[in-house]
Each structure stands twice: as structure tokens, then as C-alpha cells.
């Protein structure tokens, strides 16, 4: 799933989508990906405009973000900030689903302030032909504090006819197994931060916990990071912008290696791309994988 996008309305009433968003979901840039673009919106016209643009690019499904917990987003009644406003959610779905049945899914949290918000909403969503609902069982106000509430997720299963996908706190094969066993018969899971930290996590999960990373995985990871660096160099100008992005990835990925705190510190301290390249070379030459 691609990060959420939205459209802007200019003073003359015309809507447009930022070029950076369009680049993210351009099929040319996603050749090997079965991508589902995602929309952040609290308005039927805005949603339709953005959706039409996405479908015109050739994508077959769109996800609606009702989960984003960022206060900048929720205070505008977007993301999880829309969950207390069910009438508005239904007004949007009435319009959008009439045009795009079986082409929209929803990603949601339990509520902004209380799980009662989603418990109330789920039976109402039964009337709409959604493809699936992905639930990250935390409240918007929680941001990322506490743990994903598996019991609340189970409560949701009884309240909907839709295919439910679980999302939250799957960081490695053990946490996947723990969660999978607590949610018998679950139809699917979505990975978030765990995938940023360990791109081999899906392979591990598919192998049923028997996956040990090999030297060729190390090479794949090295190539991935090189590609990322080159792509950023082609798009962004100035070492500090490029380094900012790469440091963002390493904050998650450091756990792949032994002594992640030391690795994070070394990467964080790099001030130039040359220095960064040197540190990455050292990591791959000297530090074993931890997981």
C-alpha cells in the first residue's frame, strides 16, 4: 500500500494533486508492485477527484485512510480524526461506493478516543461493498503508545461481514506467531514498521519461522540500500536531504544487525554522503545480522 495522498483546492476552485504524490503512484515507478494507492480525505468531492485520478492511472483498488493518528491530521477530521463522525463517513461512502463498488478498502484504528467508535461503525459498514477492512487496534490518541489491543480486534470480528485484516506490532517471526495464534482464522495481516526494519520478514513468515538470513540476503540488502541512495540522489538535492531519508530507514533497519544502538549512533553522526557510504561499508564488512 502506498502512503496516503490527497488533493488540494486552489483559490479558483480547481483541484490538483501534488506532483510528488503522483510520482509515488506512477505505474512507471512501481513496475514490480501490486500497489494499492491510499487516500486521506474527509470530503466526497475531494475523494472522487483523487480516486478518479488514481483509477485513470490503471490501479484497480484504493484504500481509504481512517487511521492516521497525527494531531495535524486528526484536528482537521481526517484519518482517525474522522472516526467519531459517522454521518460524515457514510456521506462520503454513499457517494464514492455508488461510483466504485468493490474497489475501495478501509484502513482504520479503533477510534480517535474510544473503541466504541469503531464498534458502532462496523455494522454500518456492512451495507457498503468494500473489498476489506484493515484494523490497527490502537486509538488515534494513543499514537504508538501501549500495545495493539488484540481483544478489541477480536471484538471487531463479530461486528462485520467484511474480510478483516490485522495490522500492528508484528516486528519479527515470533511476534507474528504470537499474534497469529491469538487470532485464529485471521484472513490476513499487514506489516508496517516491522517491514521497514526487516525486508526479509515476509519471507520468514512464509517459511514458518525457519528462515535464516544468508550471505546472498546481505548482498540483496546492500544493493537495496545502494539503489535507494542513487534514487534519492536523482530526486533530492543536497547531502542533508538525502541523508535525512537514509537515516530514517536506518533508524528502523539497525535492528537487523548486532548492537543496533551503536549502528544507529554511527549512521546518525554522518554529516556527508561520503561518510555515510564509508559507515555502511564498515557495517556490511564487520557486523553480523542479529536476526
Least distance to ligand FMN from the beta carbon of 73, Å? 10
CA dihedral 191→195→200→203, nearest 10 degrees, is 0
Place of cell 491469538: 182
**10 versus 196: smaller Cβ distance to ligand FMN:** 196
Q: Are 125 and 114 in contact (CB under 8 A)?
A: no
**30 versus 277: smaller Cβ distance to ligand FMN:** 30
**What count of residues does the chain have?**
291
**224 versus 278: smaller Cβ distance to ligand FMN:** 224
Least distance to ligand FMN from the beta carbon of 178, Å? 13
Residue number of the CB closest to ligand FMN reads: 192
Least distance to ligand FMN from the beta carbon of 193, Å? 3
Least distance to ligand FMN from the beta carbon of 24, Å? 10
**195 versus 277: smaller Cβ distance to ligand FMN:** 195
Place of cell 545480522: 289
Q: How far apart are CA 9 and CA 92, in angstroms?
A: 17
Chain residues in the site for ligand FMN (CB under 6 A): 3-4, 38, 65, 67, 107, 136, 167-170, 191-194
Place of cell 506490532: 169
Using left for φ > 0, alpha for ψ between -120 and 50, and beta otherwise, residue 168 falls in left
Phi, psi angle pair for 160, to nearest 5°: -145, 150
**95 versus 191: smaller Cβ distance to ligand FMN:** 191
The secondary structure element, H or E, covering residue 216 is: helix 215-235
Least distance to ligand FMN from the beta carbon of 52, Å? 20
Amino acid at each position: 500500500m502506498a502512503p496516503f495522498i490527497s488533493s488540494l483546492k486552489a483559490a479558483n476552485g480547481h483541484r490538483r494533486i501534488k506532483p510528488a504524490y503522483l510520482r509515488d503512484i506512477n505505474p512507471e515507478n512501481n513496475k514490480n508492485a501490486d500497489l494499492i494507492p491510499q487516500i486521506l480525505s474527509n470530503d466526497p468531492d475531494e475523494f472522487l477527484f483523487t480516486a478518479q485520478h488514481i483509477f485513470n492511472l490503471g490501479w484497480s483498488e484504493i484504500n481509504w485512510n481512517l487511521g492516521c493518528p497525527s494531531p495535524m491530521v486528526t484536528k482537521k477530521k481526517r484519518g482517525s480524526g474522522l472516526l467519531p463522525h459517522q454521518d460524515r463517513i457514510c456521506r462520503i461512502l454513499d457517494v464514492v461506493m455508488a461510483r466504485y463498488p468493490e474497489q475501495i478498502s478501509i484502513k482504520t484504528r479503533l477510534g480517535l478516543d474510544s473503541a466504541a467508535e469503531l464498534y458502532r461503525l462496523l455494522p454500518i459498514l456492512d451495507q457498503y461493498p468494500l473489498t476489506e477492512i484493515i484494523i490497527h487496534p490502537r486509538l488515534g490518541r494513543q499514537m504508538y503508545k501501549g500495545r495493539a489491543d488484540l481483544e478489541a480486534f477480536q471484538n471487531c470480528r463479530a461486528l462485520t461481514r467484511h474480510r478483516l485484516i490485522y495490522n500492528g506490532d508484528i516486528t519479527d517471526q515470533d511476534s507474528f506467531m504470537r499474534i497469529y495464534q491469538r487470532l485464529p482464522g485471521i484472513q490476513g495481516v499487514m506489516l508496517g514498521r516491522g517491514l521497514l526494519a526487516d525486508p526479509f520478514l515476509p519471507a520468514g513468515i512464509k517459511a514458518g519461522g525457519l528462515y535464516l538470513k544468508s550471505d546472498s540476503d546481505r548482498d540483496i540488502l546492500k544493493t537495496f540500500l545502494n539503489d535507494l541512495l542513487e534514487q534519492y540522489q536523482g530526486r533530492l538535492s543536497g547531502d542533508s536531504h538525502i541523508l535525512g531519508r537514509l537515516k530514517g530507514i536506518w533508524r528502523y533497519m539497525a535492528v537487523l544487525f548486532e548492537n543496533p544502538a551503536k549502528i544507529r549512533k554511527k549512521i546518525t553522526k554522518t554529516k556527508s554522503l561520503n561518510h555515510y557510504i564509508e559507515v555502511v561499508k564498515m557495517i556490511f564488512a564487520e557486523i553480523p545480522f542479529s536476526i
